[in-house]
Structure 1
Amino acid sequence: MPTHSASIPAPSLAPVLTIDDLSIEFPAYRSTVKALNGVSLHVNPGEIVGVIGESGSGKSVTAMLSLRLLPERSYRVTAGSLNILGRDMLAAQEKELLKVRGRDVAMIFQEPMTALNPTRRIGRQMTDVIIHHQRLSKDQARSKAIALLRDMHIADPEQVLESFPFELSGGMRQRVMIALAFSCDPQLLIADEPTTALDVTVQRQVLLLLREKARERGTAILLITHDMALVSQFCDRVYVMYTGAVVEQGDTAQVMADPRHPYTKGLLSGLPEQVRPGEALMTIPGQVPNLSALPDGCTFRDRCAFAMPKCLERPPLLAIDAAGVRKSACWLNAAEQAS
């Protein structure tokens, strides 16, 4: 399996994003959905960090909450903190949030057709964003929009500016979204499944472009995805999430080469390169538990081939290397350390 080989930026500066022991729940009819359960993660300046997991793992909720994009009265924060560039995002007022979004932190959504306004030309949408965050005239904003689209390897940016979103291909729309994301030189870019709607060839082109521009500008990226292959090729570090909690984390190359949580092993076993030609792909048995009625102990227990009586207790996220970079929430690792 190819792995991302770019050197990891030295964490000499404070993280641009820090989430510490964060738990949130969504009130529902006669129940409560526990969407995040003690999530802790960080992204250093210039770093590309992946968050991976099945649907319902909490990865997109983490991304949306980072910019307070969830409907305000739809959830409750029950524990923890969330800071971006030293700001307490959970306590920030709307006026401050409007300054942070787009200027300091940008977001690329899964489907650009829902993120771009279908009734307005691309040029108007781009210049409005640029003028909102920077003191530029309309002509200056248009010139910057053209330059940004050229940076995205778009051959005819003037024509794209005159187009409506529905007149562009999916790959072209996502390039416009990347250009918009970089328009105000953010320090952090959150990309939530940015290539899901694209074919494999265009996926790679878009992600290579995203990484190239991030490296050029020193922008940190939090990449939300369900695709282990994308993480292996583009991320410096990775967090694996399950039922709203981090179950494994570490440098991408190490996690891919030596996964230490059974759930991570299960995700990797489903990759085509892990089986011989003609063999069926491996799948993780069972389903993600109901987040309104999570089982006691390890929430992966009922799907795990290595489950043991100790798994009736909730395993902590423990360091499994001397530096404390690699961590896993599995009693098997605790048993290895004790032996």
Structure 2
Amino acid sequence: MQETPFSLKVGHLLPYSMSDSNTTHLTNPCTFILLGIPGLEAAHVWISTPFCAMYAIAILGNFTILFIVKTEPSLHGPMYYFLCMLAVTDLVLSTSIFPKMLSIFWFNSREIDFSACLTQMYFIHCFSAMESGIFAAMALDRYVAICHPLRHSTILTNPIVAKIGLAVVLRCGMLALPYPFLARRWPYCRTNILPQPYCLHIAVVNLACADIRISSYYGLFVQFSMMGLDVIFIVVSYIQILRAIFSLPTKDARIKTFGTCSSHLFVILAFYIPRLFISLLYRFGQNVALNFHVLFSNVYLFMPPMLNPIIYGVRTKQIWDRLLCLFIHEGP
């Protein structure tokens, strides 16, 4: 099909034409075909090597963070509880993508059941948004710790932290729930081929031979209502944090206080900047090769789960010290 590459680019909506009405409608196709990296099928085994390394680092790093926080009583505080939530989110997100990706790259197992595709779609969208919500919660923790240090322990108590975590989970879980239901309701008659190794909402519904504006508008609503609001909240929090830091009397105090936010800032930038680049690429990069779109998107999905534990492990003194103790077999 000459139209297929264009029709499967994320962010492009296909018009419903009269020619589509003469095509047999498959309301629920049995399977979708995941191409992996289109045009680079011969190199799939080699491409899988860095992705395997990224996944292994993500699994090892996030489990290490969870183990260190659990076994070290001095780390039982709001910042580290949020870090554990982030680690669990990264583990679920990367694991929902990698096994099927590996089966495509290694065994050319490209078929995915329609229901399995919708389930994977839900997990990807839900836990990506959950990661953004946890970053917002971490920004709140840094704001209280720097702007109201004497009240930090009374404001962010364990029950409050638990309620914030539950609110993030419920918000993302409920707002991502319509994605698979919207995708299931459309008739599919163009093709069942997806030029990527995973299922995303807009990529799937772009295969439908119907007016999918509801799906498109809902996707934009979720992006603005979750990640958009999270970004605004983070920016406002850091404006207040920077004002408090610059009001400190000495340069050493400002540097030391800012250092407590550095890990959080690094992981935020690693999450949001590539996401912005991908959005601009899909919107304005129509002349960019499809395989570059897909490859960059794959790297982006695995980068935060891999980088987050590395950044926090290296930049957070308490975690780094405990990690060194584990390696040299000494007590804390």
TM-score range normalised by the length of the shorter chain: under 0.3
Higher RCO (C-alpha under 8 Å, 6+ residues apart): 2
TM superposition score normalised by structure 1: 0.24
Which structure has more helix as a fraction of its residues?
2
Structure ID, larger Rg: 2
Which structure dedicates a bigger proportion of its chain to strand? 1
Instruction: Using structure 2 for the length normalisation, give the TM-score.
Output: 0.24
